[in-house]
Every structure is written in C-alpha cells, then in structure tokens.
Amino acid sequence: MDVDAAGRAEAARRSGAPEEPGEAAPAAEPQAFLRELATHLGLLAQEAAQQAARPAPAPAVGAPPAEEAVGPGVRYLHGLDSISAAIEEALGSVRRDILTAQPDGARPSAVLKDALESVRRQISAGIAMRTLYQHTTRFDEATKEYVRAVTEHGAQVRTLEEFFDRLIIVDDTAFISANEDRTTAISITEPTIVRFLRDTFDKAWDRAEPFPFVPLHAAKAAAEVVPAIRESISRLLVEGYSDKVIARRMGISERSLQAHVAALKQELGAYNRLQLGYLLGRYDAFR
C-alpha cells in the first residue's frame, strides 16, 4: 500500500468508514471506547487536581483611592489622613456651627488638648459648637478639665448614656464612620441626608444632660448618671448583646461592665447571669 493509500486507510479507520469501497467496516467495540473515554477523563481529573493543589497567584490589588465618589453628595474617605484632611478643609470654611458626637467614653488627653486649640479659634470667630459625649466621660479628669475650658469659651457639652456612632457636622457637610475601626468615613453634602443627621443629633441633644461646668467628685457624678447607664446595660443584656458590644456602645471597658452587671445582680437578687436576664426581662415587661 502506497503512502496515499495508507493515509486514506488510517482516515477511514478513525472515521469508522470502510477502508475501500464495498469493504465492510469491522464491528465497533463499545468496551474499548468506554475504556479510552475513562482514561481521558482520568487524565483530566488528575490535571485538575494538580492545578487545584498549586497556590493561586495573589491578585494584584492596588491601594484604594483616598477619596471615592459613590453618588451625588456622597464620598468615601479611605485612611485616617484622608479623613482628617477632609474634616480640616470643612472646618477651614465653617460659617455657622459645628456639631460633634463622640462615643466610646473618654478621649486621650493629647487629643483633647489639640481639640481645645481648635475650639478656641472657632468660637472666637463666632462659630456655635455643640458636643455630645457619653455619661462615662464624667469620670475622666482630662475630659472634665477640657469641658470646663471649652464651655468657658462658649461651647456647649452634654452627655448621654448611649447614642449613635461618631458624627461630625460642619455647616452643610456631615462625616460619619463607614467601618468599625473608623479607618473609612463618608463625607456627605447631600442636603436631605445632612438634614436627617442634624435632626438625629438634635433629638439626642434634647435627651442629653448638661455636662458639669466644674470637675465633680466621682461619687456625685455616679449619683447623676449611673442609674441611666445601668438602665441601658439592662436593656442591652435583655436584647442579647455580647459583653464586648455592650461595653463598646456604653463607652466603658468590659471590666467596668462586669462591675455594673454584678451590681444589677445584687440589686435584683440574681445568683447568675441567666437568672439576671430573666429578672430583667420580667421587670421590663411590667414596667
């Protein structure tokens, strides 16, 4: 058989056609076909397993932009430097007022010192300023001294047992946190949202208590605010929040929270946390 004939014969064999006209094709063997198919599938499975075992290359992820517009009047600010720069820019052109809500309890004395200088400049320029803290700041000496100083300049400070997350409103621009560790914020200039946030702040302000103008002894501060603190702790316990979440929302340490829980247990005659939760829920239901 010449080369061309051999080629035609090989093609005919692969296609299942007779090798020569009029020549019958041999009967196909299903078992042989299935064995060949199984072999190919096995090789594919082996290759897939090897590919899966290889470490995938890390995707190339660039650093997010410092600012990212996500809609009309709404910008994401990534990173503390970007957040600080945006707030400073807003403060530099403030005309009317500054509203701030600072949760999480007492702030570092160095932060308060820097804030005091800023408050002095703003108040002297005729800017109104209102600040909300949590009740627990009444036990912090640095915060008490700061409040006494800023109120002497004309700022107003009040405290609540619990309120919303950090909020800063400078005229018609609002800043709110966008993640738990507050490394991302949102700058808002959309009038409807800013108006809503102002209204939220004002309602919290109306419920808040004026911060003492002079430092008070801890015992006197406790008599003024501890009942409200424990009432909020009781409510959060009944709602099933963890100690970590409750402590964060109240602006206290988990150790301080445990002390309040122990006092509540003693007050209600509870022997353990389970009984305390039951008694608190029962008390709340009949209140």
Looking at residue 53, what is its pLDDT? 52
Q: What is the pLDDT of residues 158-168, one digit of tens each?
A: 988 876 778 99
DSSP labels for 192-218? HHHHHHHHHHHHHHHHSEEPPSS---H
Looking at residue 21, what is its pLDDT? 42
Looking at residue 175, what is its pLDDT? 93
- Selection from 162, 133, 136 nearest residue 226 by Cα: 136
Give 10-residue mean pLDDT values along the chain (287 residues): 48 46 46 54 50 48 64 87 89 91 72 75 87 83 82 87 83 90 89 92 89 58 74 84 83 83 85 82 62
Residue 283's φ and ψ, nearest 5 degrees, are: -60, -40
Return the number of other C-beta atoms located less than 10 Å from residue 260's C-beta.
20
Dihedral of the CA atoms 199, 201, 203, 209 (nearest 10)? -160
Angle (CA) 102-84-124 rounded to 5° is 70
CA atoms within 13 A on the CB side of 161: 15
- Selection from 212, 285, 214, 222 nearest residue 252 by Cα: 222
Residue 128's φ and ψ, nearest 5 degrees, are: -80, 145
Identify the DSSP state of 61: -
Q: What is the pLDDT of residues 56-81, one digit of tens each?
A: 444 445 555 677 767 788 999 998 88
Residue with token string 């809503």: 196
Looking at residue 60, what is its pLDDT? 43
Looking at residue 254, what is its pLDDT? 84
State how far the Cα of 129 lies from the Cα of 142, in Å rounded to an integer.
Answer: 20
State how far the Cα of 101 lies from the Cα of 130, in Å rounded to an integer.
Answer: 9
Kindly list the distances between the CA atom of residue 246 and the CA atoms of 154, 170, 235, 242, in Å, as whole numbers in the listed order. 33, 29, 10, 6
- Angle at which helix 243-250 crosses helix 254-268, to 10 degrees, equals 100
